[in-house]
Chains A and B, each alone.
Chain A
Amino acid sequence: MTGYILRRLLSVMVTFFVVSVIIFLMMHSIPGGPFDGGDMPVPEAVRQKLNAQYGLDQPLYVQYGRYMWGVLQFDFGVPFQSPGETVLELLGRAWVPSLVLGGLGVLIGVPLGILLGMAAALKRNSWIDYLASTVATLGLTIPVFVTSMLLILVFSVWLGWLPSSGWGEPERWILPIAAYATIPMATYARYMRSAMLDTLNKPFVTVLRAKGLSERQIVFQHVMRNSSIPLVTVFLPMFIGTATGSIFVEAMFRVPGLGSYFVSSIRTRDYPLEMALMLMLTVMFCLAYLISDILYAWLNPRIRHGGKQE
C-alpha cells in the first residue's frame, strides 16, 4: 500500500508539471497582455516599463522558469489586479466564502441525496420514488443559475424572507447554499438509487434473507455498504469541484468568493493569479482522487487484496 501511495504521489508531481506547462502556454497564447489598457489606455512607454518590471518582456521559457521557481518556494507572485497583496493572500481571503458555500452545500446536499435515493430504491415505484427521480432529473438538468434566479424570485422578491445577495450575515448564506446544494443532492439521489437497486438484486441478498436476517440489518449493514462504495469515489472530487462549480452561484448571489477570480484573472490576463488558481485546482483534484482511491480500496476487499488468491 505504501509503495502504491508513493507511486501515485510521484504521478501527481508529473501531472502537476505537465499541467503547469499547458496552462502557462495556453495563458500566453491568448493575444494581449495585462497592461494593454482597455478601459484605461496606458501610454506605450509606461506599458513597456510595466512589462519589464514584471518580466513580461522576457522569452516565455524564462518567464515560466521564474514563475515555477517561485512556486517551489510557495511564492505565487503578486496579482496584477490587486497589487497591494500577494496571490496567496488574495486566495486566502477569497477562499473562505467559497469553502463555506461549497462545503455546506455538499454537506447538506449529499445526505439529502443519499436519503432520497435510498427511499426511492427501497420503495420502488412509489410516490417517493417518482419524487426522487423528478428531483434528480430537475436538479441535473436545470442550470444552477436558473435555480438561483428562481430562489431569488420566490424567497427574496415575492416572499421577502431572505436577502437576495451578499455575504456576511448567515441569513445571506441560505439561498446560495440552497441553490448550490441541489447539484450534489441530485447527483447522489440518482447514484444512490441505482446503486441500491443494483445491490438489492444481487443473489447474496436472497441468501441474507434466507439466513433469517432482519430486513433492517440487510439494508443498513449489507446493501448500504455495498452501494456506498461507488459513491465514495465521487465525493472528494465533487467537493473540490465546489471551487469552480460555484462560479455561477457566486455570480448570481454576489458572493465574494473564488469563483469570480477564475473569470477575471483570464479576462485581465492576470497571469500569476490564473496560474496559481489552476495549479491549486490541479493539486487538489489529484489528491482528491488519490484519497478516493485509497478509501475505495479500504472499503472494497477485492481491491485491497489485489487479486490475491488462496
Chain B
Amino acid sequence: MKDTQAQPIVEIEDLRVTFPQAEGSVRAVRGVSLALHPGESLGVVGESGSGKSVSWMAVMRLLRAPPAEVEAGRLRLAGIEVMQARREELTELRGRAAAMIFQDPMTAFDPVFTIGHQIIETIRAHRATSKRAARAEALDLLERVEIRNAEAILDSYPHQLSGGMLQRAMIAMALSCRPQVLIADEPTTALDVTVQAQILQLIKDLQDEMGMGLVMITHDLGVVAETVDRVVVMYGGKVMEEAPVVELFEDPRHPYTRALMVSIPGQEGGRRRLTEIPGASPDPSDPPEGCPFHPRCTQADAQCAAEEPPMAVLGPGRRAACWRLT
C-alpha cells in the first residue's frame, strides 16, 4: 500500500497555530513538520493540549480565523497549498482529498435531518448525481460499514441511533467521496469499550480495501498499535518522536515516549499499579524554554532547559527531538 516515491498527499512544514488571548497567546502548535504518503497510515499520539488535533484541523482549514492564527512554511493537501486556496478550492478538497471523522458522533450530525439526507448531500456536494443514485450509494456505504437494516437507518434521525451506530454512519459519510486520506480524530474516545475495537477494525479494513491514507489522532497508544504503520508522538505543540510503529514500541528513544509506554496499564510484566508521568502538561500560553518536556524529564540538564533540541535523524523513518540523542 505504502508508496513513498509518489508525491505526499499531506505535507506539513513548520506549522504554527496560535490563539491570541488577552493575557498571553495560546501557542497550540509550535513548528510541526510531517508528511503523509498515499495509502499510508499514520498515528498521531499525544495528550490533550499537545496540538495533535489542532494540526490536522489546520490542514483541513477548519480552524476559524479569528481566533486561530495559522502560519506554515508549507501546508499542502493533495498538492494544493491550502493557506492560499480559495473558498471553492477548499470545499472541493474537503471530503474529497481528505475526509474527517470526529470524536463525538452524537453531536456530529445535524439533528433535524435524517442520516440519509446528510450522506446524500455529501455525495451531491462533490458529484453531479441524481438523488436516487446518491441514495443507492448511501445505502451501499451503510452496508459497507456493517450497519444492518441500512434502509431503515437511512431514514432515521441522529437521536434515534446509538453512538456506535452513529460513528459507523459518520465513517460511511466520510468515505462517500472516496477520500485520499481519512483523518480520524479520536474516533473511539466517546464510545463504549466493547464498540471501540469494532470501530477500529472497521476503519483499518476500509483503509486497506480502499487504499486510502489514514491519520489516526489519539491519546491512546493501544489504538495506534493496532491500526497504523507509522507513529508521530507530539507534546507541547511539537513533534517529539517519529518511528515505524513496531520500532516505536520495541525501542522508544525519546524520554517522553518511554514515559508514555511505561504509563500504559498492563505493560511491564503485568504491573497492577498505574504509573503516571510526574508533573503536568506545559501551559500552552507560557510554554517552557528549551525542550517542552524538560520540566518532567528525568534526564534533563541545563542545556534542555535553555535550548530547543534539534530533530535528530536516528535511522530510516526515525527521528526524535532530544539532546540525549544527538
Interface residues of A (CB under 8 A from B): 202-204, 206-215, 217, 221-222, 225-226, 229, 299-302, 305, 308-310
Contact = CB atoms under 8 A, between A and B. Distances in A.
Contact of B109 (A207, A209, A214): A207
B20 interface: no
A212 B94 contact: yes
A210 B61 CA distance: 9
B110 A211 contact: no
B109 A204 contact: yes
A215 B87 contact: yes
B108 to A, nearest CB: 5
Contacts of A213: 91, 121-122, 125
Contacts, number: 87
B177 A212 contact: yes
A213 B94 CA distance: 8
Contacts of B102: 203, 206-207, 210
Contact of B122 (A212, A301, A308): A212
Interface of B: 60, 62, 87-88, 91-96, 99-100, 102, 104, 107-113, 121-122, 125-126, 156-157, 159-162, 165, 170, 173-174, 177
Given A203-B102, A214-B91, A309-B160, A229 B112 contact: yes
Contacts of A299: 112
A217 to B, nearest CB: 7
Interface of A is mostly: helix
A212 B125 contact: yes
Given A204-B108, A206-B102, A210-B62, A308 B160 contact: yes
Contact of A301 (B91, B104, B111): B111
A310 B95 CA distance: 29
B84 to A, nearest CB: 18
Q: Give the one of B96, B109, B110, B157 with max A CB within 10 A.
A: B110
B160 A210 contact: no
Contact of A211 (B87, B125, B156, B157): B125
Given A206-B102, A207-B102, A300-B112, A212 B159 contact: no
